[in-house]
Amino acid sequence: MNIVAKDFTPVTTVPPLKASRISKEYLGGTFKALDDVSFELQENQITAFVGPSGCGKTTMLRIIAGLEYPTRGRLEVFGKNVQGPGPDRGMIFQAYTSFPWLTAMQNVEYGMKILKVPAAERRERTMNFLKLVHLEKFADTYPRSLSGGMKQRVALARTLAQNPAIILMDEPFGALDAQVRWEMQELMIELIEREKKTVVAITHDIEEAIYLADRIIFFSRQPGRIKADIPLTFKGGRRIKQKEELLEMPGYAELERQLFAMMREEIK
Amino acid sequence: MESAISKSRDASSFSQQNLPSENIEAAPIYIPPKERFLEFRRQPSAQRASVLAFAGALMFLGLWEAGHYLTPASARKFFPSIGEVGSALYVLFAERNFLQDVSVSCWRIFISFMAASAIAVPIGILMGSFGNIRALFNPTLTAWRYLPAASFIPLLLVWFGPTDQAKIALLFIGVIFFLISLVLDNTTAIQKEFVEAGLTMGASRSTILTGIVVPAALPAIFDSMRNMIAVSWTYLVIAEIVGAQDGIGAVMMRAGRFLNVDVIMAGIVTIGALGLLTDLIFRGICRALFPWNVERRS
Ligand SMILES: Nc1ncnc2c1ncn2[C@@H]1O[C@H](COP(=O)(O)OP(=O)(O)OP(=O)(O)O)[C@@H](O)[C@H]1O
Ligand SMILES: [Mg+2]
């Protein structure tokens, strides 16, 4: 399964991503979106970026993806300095990016075609991932006939099939309605658990952050800095698939209260 | 059958009301509110649409015919009736080899439009994709767009004489600059995340261009081409009026000299019909090429 992108096989103790002293200035240096931000991602952890609107979450994620460049700082993936985007960091956007001119199957295949995965293996992996996102019946359907949640599942399968070391998501479920969102969250937990990925997911939704994440990085606004770095220890190192179970866990309510308080502080 | 129903009744008498049963009357037929002619954004069925299209055409023809009879008798020959134009058309095709003129005109449109598209589409896509290429060409092309194509007629006549090349060149000039700017807009309008998704998947620039930008922009580009070919017909008549021996425009111009209004109008009708035909062909091609595309309404 791990034939794609095998250059990125983890080396022990080297973090999958290390961001050192990242700053991003806009408008000719007059506006600081990010100010001296440093963190390391832990392997196979889901990290949520949380913070008020405009605090620089998207900017940070796009810098990691290589779609934007920091004004200062350094970015390392498994110890190697990176510049620009690459298939080691897969991205899932809030906007639907499944290509409308390709069927669901061709979409999932597309990323592997780019990586020149041999045809036979490509077919097999495509079918596997379509099954994982429950779209095997829609293999030959064009995205215009798929619902928003299904389109997002195509994008998820396409990204996972490329086997990136790190998966970046910018409010991936932001455009979905509540029930579909909830389904997608459960699916994501299941897939990440299975595929063993390091994930960064941006979310506005505190409940979603607590549910998905193993760790929350909370950004403050203007300039964007890390306000708090919170490991979700109350889960006891597990991922809780059932939301009901999570709600009953000691520590849940307290953490949610804390995060809301932090958010209120920032909005003021 | 009988026993199955009674069995289920026994099993849960409280849910009886939800069980389908022959005893209960069928649900009432839903009578939707009466549909009026003017319903906001309601699309007619294909059948209804063709009836309406036909009615619209009849309305136009009615106005035409009424216009003919309302014109004072002394001037009526300058506003011929449908029948007169029809017989002029018949005479043109049957006796004056009009088909030859029509094919010459179509050929000029076809060649000039193919040449203009072959240059405009790639340039527009490149300009829409790469800011530097856009900065390189756009100011100059914008200036060209403001030059009326008809102002090139004297120059083209000096260069080529009253030849086919002169006419084709005029049609080419009349279309290419607008087509470039439309294709440029179509290309910049594609969802930017498509390109970014390609980048994060590790696609090369040429793969992103040919595998993502082009398919994403192509349906809109075809729409632009469909609109520009109508402009091409406009220039055709101008081109053929100026020193041409053949073509629909030349026939019309000659008829004008002898005040044969029925022939002029026959030419206009022919161009209209050809325009409609071109439009239908383009739509057909679009439907065949982009089955994945949502039907555009325009
Ligand atoms: N291209 C740009 N030019 C100027 N300012 C920008 C640009 N991109 C982002 N910014 C500014 O940088 C700040 C951070 O933006 P960013 O999109 O990263 O915020 P965010 O945390 O993702 O917000 P949201 O939660 O609303 O998505 C904002 O104040 C924004 O206005
Ligand atoms: Mg954002």
Q: Is residue A152 part of a domain?
A: no
Q: Which residue range forms the structural domain that includes residue A186?
A: 13-88+164-267
H/E element holding B173?
helix B164-188
Confidence of residue B239 (pLDDT cuts 50, 70, 90): confident
d(C-alpha A147, C-alpha B257), whole Å: 63
Is a pLDDT exceeding 90 seen at residue B118? yes
Whether domain B83-290 has CATH 1.10.3720.10: yes
Q: Is the CB of A69 under 6 A from ligand 1?
A: no
Q: Residue B28 C-alpha to ligand 1 middle, in angstroms?
A: 56
Number of domains chain A is built from: 1
How many CB atoms lie under 10 A from the CB of residue A122?
Answer: 20
A166-170 vs A198-202, strand pairing mode: parallel
CA-nearest of A85, A8, A7, A74 to A40 is A74
List beta partners, residue A76.
A18, A81
- Please tell me the pTM assigned to this model: 0.85
Q: Is residue A6 part of a domain?
A: no
Which residue has better confidence, B64 or B162?
A: B64
Nearest to B193 among A66, A93, A159 (CB): A93
Q: What is the mean pLDDT of chain B?
A: 89
Is a pLDDT exceeding 80 seen at residue A4? no
Q: What average pLDDT does range B194-204 have in this prediction?
A: 96
Is a pLDDT exceeding 80 seen at residue B279? yes
Which residue ranges make up each domain of chain B?
A: 83-290
Interface of B with A in 275-294 (CB under 8 A): 290-294
H/E element holding B140?
helix B131-146
Question: What CATH number does residue A212 fall under?
Answer: 3.40.50.300
Q: Is residue A45 part of a domain?
A: yes
Q: Is the CB of A203 under 6 A from ligand 1?
A: no
Closest chain B residue to A162, measured at CA: B201
Confidence of residue B237 (pLDDT cuts 50, 70, 90): confident
Nearest to A114 among B194, B196, B201 (CB): B201
How many CB atoms lie under 10 A from the CB of residue B126?
Answer: 19
- The whole-number pLDDT of residue A26 equals 92
- pLDDT over 90, % of chain B: 69
Q: Give yes or no for a contact between B170 and B239, defined as CB atoms under 8 angstroms apart.
A: yes
d(C-alpha A85, C-alpha A159), whole Å: 14
Lowest mean pLDDT among A247-256, B9-18, B241-250, B283-292: B9-18
Q: Is residue A206 part of a domain?
A: yes
* For ligand 1, atom 23: residue with the closest CA: A54
Q: What average pLDDT does range B118-140 have in this prediction?
A: 97
Q: State pLDDT tens for residues A73-125.
A: 999 999 999 889 999 999 999 899 999 999 999 999 999 999 999 999 999 99
H/E element holding A229?
strand A225-231
Q: Is residue A77 part of a domain?
A: yes
Q: Residue A54 C-alpha to ligand 1 middle, in angstroms?
A: 5
* Cα atoms in the Cβ-side hemisphere of radius 13 Å centred on A196: 6
Lowest mean pLDDT among A84-88, B30-34, B104-108: B30-34
Q: Is A89 on the interface with B (CB under 8 A)?
A: yes
User: If you ran DSSP here, which 8-state letter would residue A67 be given?
Assistant: S
H/E element holding A39?
strand A31-41
Is a pLDDT exceeding 50 seen at residue B8? no
The token duo for A33 is 């979106």
Q: State pLDDT tens for residues B56-98.
A: 999 999 999 999 999 998 888 899 999 999 999 999 999 999 9
Q: Where are the alpha helices (DSSP H) in chain A?
A: 57-65, 104-114, 119-132, 148-161, 178-195, 206-212, 243-248, 252-267
d(C-alpha A17, C-alpha A21), whole Å: 13
How many CB atoms lie under 10 A from the CB of residue B291?
Answer: 9
Q: Residue A212 C-alpha to ligand 2 middle, in angstroms?
A: 18
Q: Is the CB of A56 under 6 A from ligand 1?
A: yes
Q: Is residue A63 part of a domain?
A: yes
- The whole-number pLDDT of residue B294 equals 64
Q: What is the mean pLDDT of chain A?
A: 90
